[in-house]
Amino acid sequence: MRNIQYREALREAMQEEMRTDDRIFLMGEEVAEYNGAYKVSQGMVEEFGARRIVDSPISETGFAGLGVGAAMYGLRPIIEFMSWSFCLVAADQIINNAPKMLYMSGGQFGCPAVFRGNNGAGGQLGSTHSWCVESMFSSVPGLKLAVPSTPRDAKGMLKAAIRDEDPVFYLESERMLGLGARGDKDFSRYLANGKWAPPSYEEDDNFVIEFGKADIKKPGADCTIVTAGRPVHFALDAAEELEKEGIDVEVIDVRTYRPLDIETIVNSVRKTNYCVVVDQSWPFASVASEIASQVYERCFDDLDNSIIRVNNDDVPAPYNRTMEQEMLPNARKIAEAVRSVTYNS
């Protein structure tokens, strides 16, 4: 498996797709001359030119709308938001236009656009920059929602998103952009002890990860943890801690909230009989609420306790680092939830 960072995986996905399809272009704030605010698009303007790597002003409504129009016209736009926290000014384009276009036009116009950017707390950026938006956007029919957690998933899922005929809402994290396949918070310790062995990192240009296919990041028998994105790493840390206490958890990375692979979740809960759901949205009407509801509908007779949800605290993100970290889901909170639900607290 190659050792590339999460940001490099995103870049490779866009480069490989753009080399084979000249309808694809990237637009967003500082994606060209500055190489992307977080260097995700480093070197791409030199390779593809300013007509395909397009710097935009700070105008989310404008460039999101341009993307919708370009997709209707037959192009394949990738629209980058520096932070999803500012997407509300473009919500009419993303929620009210892109996913409805096929229906509203009677099938005459699709909208194969990718809207991608950073979601959640970036590290003391304050509440206006640290919002997790998945609960709002995952309720919209017609909009697919991807939440990759590893460099390999980031690449395979972004390539799938670019090729998709529907609009895709693609959630990254500033806190994961430097994540390496074998570096900090990678899965080397799980690889080393044989607990989790990811498939080899394919170099084929056709390497894609199909939407709606969850990945069992760590198999286990005592409790199911369902999550996606950055919290996958918190869940794996919790799993490592719990193993010292004799609690063997199964960590399921759903990878896409829309479509949701409920079958894999249900099969796991029927095996373990306990379930904890983790996501970074606020607790009221969260993604975790929806997943828990679906598990109750299908597994009520299999559950030996109520499902516990672990979300962000129900407050705006604080600037203070200690308070910000405490607001988020973390390994301690997840471990406590598992102990509680399995009657080991």
60 flagged as catalytic: yes
Q: Which residues pair with 251 in a beta bridge?
A: 218, 225
Return the closest-CA partner of residue 27 out of 3, 50, 2: 50
- Active-site residue, selected from the candidate residues 8, 12, 16, 60: 60
Cβ pair 109, 70 in contact under 8 A: no
Kindly write down the DSSP assignment for every residue of 87-98, as one continuous string: GGGGHIIIIIIG
Return the closest-CA partner of residue 229 out of 270, 271, 288: 288
Q: Which residues pair with 25 in a beta bridge?
A: 77
233 flagged as catalytic: no
Instruction: Report d(CA 272, CA 146) in Å as an integer.
Output: 26
Return the closest-CA partner of residue 26 out of 149, 162, 193, 175: 162
Cβ pair 137, 145 in contact under 8 A: yes
- Active-site residue, selected from the candidate residues 17, 29, 129, 134: 129
Q: Tell me the helix, strand and coil percentages in the chain, rounded to 5.
A: 40, 15, 45
Provide the token pair at 3: 């050792």
Instruction: Report d(CA 187, CA 181) in Å as an integer.
Output: 7
Q: How many CB atoms lie within 10 A of CB 322?
A: 8
Please give the positions annotated as active site. 60, 129
